[in-house]
């Protein structure tokens, strides 16, 4: 047994931390820890897989290219992101762990 909140990076960590929790055909679950990181200016994620995210702790601003309003996510909020839907993280709270649970799903969810 392990704990989702174990071994968190320091509050002022320079990089996001990605930890794979489970990988099976068509499914990959990871913990992502942000400490103030955001998507680079002009960058959009456009993933081939679906991604269901749950914010476990912290706050974040999530933007979709096809939606005018930004989503202000707080602990307990979750979103299903369809494959190829362009999105970006505009902000995560600096100096505080923003902990995401990301479930990637689809025919090729396992890393190559």
Residue 62 has what pLDDT? Answer: 98
Residue 112 has what pLDDT? Answer: 47
- CATH number for domain 17-105, candidates 2.60.120.10, 3.30.930.10, 3.40.50.720, 3.30.1490.100: 2.60.120.10
Residue 33 has what pLDDT? Answer: 96
Residue 13 has what pLDDT? Answer: 79
Q: How far is CA 67 from CA 33, 46, 62, 87, in A?
A: 25, 15, 11, 10
Domain boundaries, the chain: 17-105
What residue ranges of the chain have pLDDT lower than 70?
11, 108-112
What are the structure tokens assigned to 52, written together? Answer: 């269901």
What is the C-alpha to C-alpha distance for residues 86 and 64, in angstroms, rounded to an integer?
6
Residue 1 has what pLDDT? Answer: 84
């Amino acid at each position: 047994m392990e704990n989702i909140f174990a071994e968190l990076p320091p509050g002022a960590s320079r990089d996001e931390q990605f930890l794979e929790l489970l990988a099976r055909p068509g499914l990959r679950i990871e913990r992502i820890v942000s400490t103030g990181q955001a998507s680079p200016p002009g960058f959009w994620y456009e993933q081939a897989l679906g991604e269901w995210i749950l914010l476990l702790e912290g706050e974040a601003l999530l933007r979709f290219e096809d939606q005018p309003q930004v989503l202000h996510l707080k602990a307990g909020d979750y979103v299903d992101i369809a494959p190829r839907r362009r999105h970006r993280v505009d902000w995560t709270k600096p100096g505080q762990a923003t902990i995401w649970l990301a479930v990637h799903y689809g025919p090729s969810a396992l890393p190559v």
